[in-house]
Amino acid sequence: MDMSVLGLLVSTFLALFLILSLVSYAGVFSENSGVFNLSLEGSMLLGATIGVLFLNWFNKLGFTSIWAVVVCILISGIAGILPSFIHARFSIKWKASQPAAGVGLSLAFFGLFMTFIVMGTITGSSIIPSWAKLTYSDYSFIHMGEDGFALFIKSLLSGDGSNVSILIMIVVLILACLIFYKTRFGLRVRFCGDNPTGSELSGINVNYTRTTASLVSGFLAGVAGISFFICFTTAGVGSTAGLAFLALAIVIIGGYKGHSVVLTSFIISLVIAFVSGYSHFDFLPQFTEITYGEYIYSLGIPSVLVFILLLLSPIWSRRPKWEETTLDLSKSTKSE
Amino acid sequence: MGKVKKLVKGEEINFGSKAFMSSVFACLIGFIVALALMYITLLCFSYSNANSAFISLFTYTASSTDLLTSFITLAGISLLLSLGFGVGVKGNLYNFGIFGQFAVGGVLSIIGGSMFNLPWYYLALIGAAGGLVIGLIPGIMKAFLKIDESISSIVLGVICLVGAELALYNYPGLIGEGGVSLVDINSSNPSALIGSFDINGFKLGYGVLIAVGLSIVMSLALSIKGVKASTNNLYKMRFSPEMKKGHYKGAVVLTFIISGAFAGLAGSLYYVNLFATTQVHFLSITNITPSLIGMASALMTFGNPIGSIFTTGMISYLISSCQSLSYFSVSNYVIYILLGVLIVCGSVQLMVRFHLLRGVSFRRLNYKIDKKTRVQEVISTVSENKRETLSKSDSPTFEETALAKKLAVETSVPPEEKGRTQSGNIQKRLAQVLNSKKSGSANDDSFAIPLTPFSRVLKDYDSNSVSNMDDAEITRVSSEDGKEEK
């Protein structure tokens, strides 16, 4: 196999895996706390919008180092908190319908994002400046031999901003895993989802914990959103292609557990990366005789795979208990 | 007074008009919020033209008969989708993949009308059947496999869109090179077109009449006691694990079947007529717009078919007028901001209705309930009769509890004080609270009956009655409450 093709596949897979894992972990946080957060798509889009604006602004100011990308990604994460906060407020405080509020917010921020892009607020042929784009040639470490990995580390440390998004995503993902499984806050999040009445009686403010978990999920989605546009710049006017809904499906398939969700993201990212490079593989049918045959690989096969996994998920997946129980304080000692 | 007596005696009180008006106001509030946000967005993107652009949202569609025709068509199709989506809203079941069922109904009807020369009513049945089959899948997944219907329906919807696009452009003899249609339905099979009648250049399609007729039929069907109880029971089943046995699974599947059938029917009526005049692409954001309008409308009206007529019309009118925004250098994608905000407002409209219906603050009053056993007995008596009209939850509301507490206090009044009736004491206490609130000297720490519909319907309440109470009476009533607080 041509090494450039392998490089393309590995880089596509790595970027997509990290992005999907981040958004899926965002879903893990919110689902395990008891909030069905369908506004993650909105968080991704708002994070991407704000991040792209800041990248272009830094470009105009001449601030084009590695730290510009770091700052933009962090700002995107903070911006991604807003849709999740609105969703949390509506659904937790005001008992709004969670799926409807989430879809509405995602749609509203989709309109906002597309308006920014189409209105030409972000000018130029690409919405991401060239110095911030992820270039696949940077993945020289995949070449066989020790020099490849050394070259990769060297390019990272030399201030080349294109790879830092990958590094940041790895760091944020590891932090999210640690927070969810190794901290008191993560334990509270899981407890609130499993037994909200028991949590309240234990002195945990269930609404506060759920809201905080939603904010964390919004941050993760915002980071993933801007990273998506840095890594896949051809998606300039295609929004985030419904990745958040795919991520929520991954959460369901993965059984709402962090490690299972990451494993599921790994498998699905591998398949998507593989089929996206179908034109390079002769053993795959090319569907050239079919009009719009490219949709089979870009949308059809990933969607069918996810749907089949969803169908099979009840075999190994455990639904969160909050879907069947409600917080019922009337039976608690506080009301007596 | 009369209604409180009825309440205590266990007779039903009809608050139907209040519920209707609160629904109307909840929808209006949603529209006002959405339009306000729309105006702010227009200000951000086109400050100098914001006012003109905003006014054009209300005037553009009415400026031409062609635009009015397209608006009416969009409203009719969206109404069918709203009916389909609204079936599950009451039971908290959301068929977000309605756009996929819409596309499947459309492609089946295009193929049937172009290649098999079927008339429009057969095409409508085929489209409805196709949507029904697709809608069945997430219903079964939800009912039997307990997989969340929101995600499964969206994923299935994407698959349906891709399948519909591939089927349309690869069916032999249907589409030629460059996407040109090889079949001219207008000449080869005009019976496939639904047709319209002309009123001074304004064309009203029969499909719109079908949609309005179906919504009226649905409304009548839902008013039938058994059907209404079923939809209410579906809502209760959703939040009550004990009721998930038995009929819940069947009800879920039936909901999705009906939803899918309506979506397929809408697709059939829409796409055949669209295919007759222009190129069709299912994988286009504009083809999802009718589904989004239907969702927003159903959420705002909580699935009410008659209400859907008006909200769908209003939303479709605004969406049609959004084409004028391009004249003011504003992107048409702003309509998705409007739709998104309307859907969000629709998701909270139940809370808004709650506030409007009850007229009380959402904050619970903190008080202690003494004489718990007697209070619980009174609560059960009060709640049993009020449940259907005011509350859909199984636990008593705090108004009911407040009234129950007061009644419990009254029943414990010493014999020498039993000269006055229970309702008389309630009336005097209400008068005291209301007047103290008016004068701003309300003591929030003391027990205070909130301003509930109960207090408002006390028709023989006389605000001057308080002035007729002597200080001893007021002190005694207050001291009883003070003892209760301890």
Scan for tokens 């914001």, then name that residue.
B50
Hey, are the CB atoms on B41 and A313 less than 8 Å from each other? Answer: no
pLDDT category, B414, cuts 50, 70, 90? very low
Q: Do B331 and A118 touch (CB under 8 A)?
A: yes
Cβ A111–B175 below 8 Å, yes or no?
A: no
Chain A residue with Cα closest to B179: A291
Its pTM stands at 0.76
Give the number of other Cβ atoms within 10 Å of residue A154's Cβ.
13
More confident residue, B417 or A121: A121
Residue A175, pLDDT above cutoff 90:
yes
Q: Give residue-wise pLDDT tens across range A64-115.
A: 777 888 899 999 999 999 999 999 988 887 777 888 888 889 988 888 888 7
The span from the CA of B437 to the CA of B440, in Å, is: 5
For residue B205, the surrounding DSSP H or E stretch is strand B202-205
- pLDDT at residue B364 in the model: 37
| Residue B123 near residue B199 (C-beta atoms within 8 A) | no
- pLDDT range class, residue A10, cuts 50, 70, 90: confident
| pLDDT-based confidence at residue B449 (cuts at 50, 70, 90) | very low
H-run or E-run covering B203: strand B202-205
SS (H, E, C) B367-417: CCCCCHHHHHHHHHHHHHHHCCCCCCCCCCCHHHHHHHHHHHHHHCCCHHH
Among B96, B158, B372, the residue with its CB nearest the CB of A299 is: B158
Which residues from A are below 8 Å from B241, CB to CB? 324-325
Please give the average per-residue pLDDT across B153-166, as a whole number.
Answer: 92
Rounded to whole angstroms, the Cα distance separating B131 from B99 reads: 10
Average pLDDT score over chain B: 71
Interface membership of A308 toward B (CB under 8 Å): no
Place of tokens 């700002």: A75
pLDDT of residue A172: 92
Q: What distance in Å separates residue A107's CA from the closest CA in chain B?
A: 5
* Shortest CA gap B179–chain A (Å): 9
Are A255 and A318 spatial neighbours (Cβ–Cβ below 8 Å)? yes
Contact B153, B96 (CB under 8 A): yes
Q: How far apart are CA B419 and CA B413, in angstroms?
A: 10
| Spatial separation of the C-alpha atoms in residues A180 and A185, rounded to whole Å | 7
Closest CA to B214 of B308, B123, B289, B136: B308
pLDDT band at B11 (very low <50, low <70, confident <90, very high): very low
Closest CA to A46 of A164, A218, A245, A232: A218
Task: Return the structure tokens found at B203.
Answer: 């064309």
pLDDT for B441 beyond 60: no
Nearest in space to A104 (alpha carbons), one of B281, B77, B341? B341
Region A31-58: mean pLDDT is 88
Q: Which pLDDT value is given to residue B444?
A: 39
Contact A104 B333 (CB under 8 A): no
What are A194's two structure tokens? 């499993």
Look at residues B376, B303, B297 and name the one whose alpha carbon lies nearest to residue B92. Answer: B303
Place of tokens 């939603």: A214
- Residues of chain A contacting B239 with CB distance shorter than 8 Å: 326
Shortest CA distance from B370: residue in chain A: A336
Q: Are the Cβ atoms of B341 and A115 closer than 8 angstroms?
A: no
> Cβ–Cβ of A303/B158 closer than 8 Å?
yes
Q: Which residues 234-273 of A have a C-beta within 8 angstroms of B?
A: 242, 245-246, 248-249, 252
Of B150, B350, B351, the CB nearest to A99: B150
A103 and B CB contact within 8 Å: yes
Q: Give the mean model confidence (pLDDT) for residues B208-214.
A: 84
User: Shortest CB distance from B339 goes to which of A100, A107, A304?
Assistant: A107
pLDDT exceeds 50 at position A300:
yes
Closest B-chain CA to A245:
B151
Output the CA torsion B205→B211→B216→B220 (10° steps): 150
% residues pLDDT > 90 (chain B): 15
Go through B172-210 and write b for each residue having 16 or more CB atoms within 10 A of its CB, e for each that does not.
eebbeeeeebebebeeebeebbbebeeeeeebbbbbbeb
The pLDDT of residue B134 is: 95
pLDDT of residue A156 exceeding 70, the answer is: no
Are B147 and A291 within 8 A, CB to CB? no
pLDDT in tens, B283-308: 887 788 899 899 888 888 877 888 88
Runs of H (alpha helix) within B240-288: 247-275
Report how far residue B381's alpha carbon sits from residue B371's, in angstroms, rounded to the nearest whole number.
16
* Cα-Cα-Cα-Cα dihedral sign, residues B231, B235, B236, B238: positive
What is the C-alpha separation between B133 and B160, in angstroms, rounded? 12
Distance CA B366, CA B360 (A): 14
- Most confident of the ranges A185-194, B8-17, B392-401: A185-194
Distance CA B74, CA B67 (A): 10
Higher confidence at residue A13 or residue B21?
A: A13
Backbone angles phi, psi at B204, to 5 degrees: -110, 115
ipTM topping 0.90 = no
pLDDT band with cut points at 50, 70 and 90 for residue A127: low
DSSP-derived letter for residue A241 is T
CB pairs under 8 A between A and B: 165
Give, in order, the Cα–Cα distances in Å from A143 to each of A4, A162, A267, A281, B271: 9, 19, 23, 20, 52
pLDDT tens track for A186-237: 999 988 888 777 787 788 888 899 999 999 999 999 999 988 888 776 544 4
Would you call A97 and B94 a contact, using CB atoms and an 8 Å cutoff? yes
Exposed e or buried b per residue across B64-79, where buried means at least 16 C-beta atoms within 10 angstroms of its C-beta = eeebbbbbbbbbbbbb
* Under 8 Å between Cβ of A335 and A197: no
Contact B333 A106 (CB under 8 A): no
Return the SS3 of B95.
Answer: coil
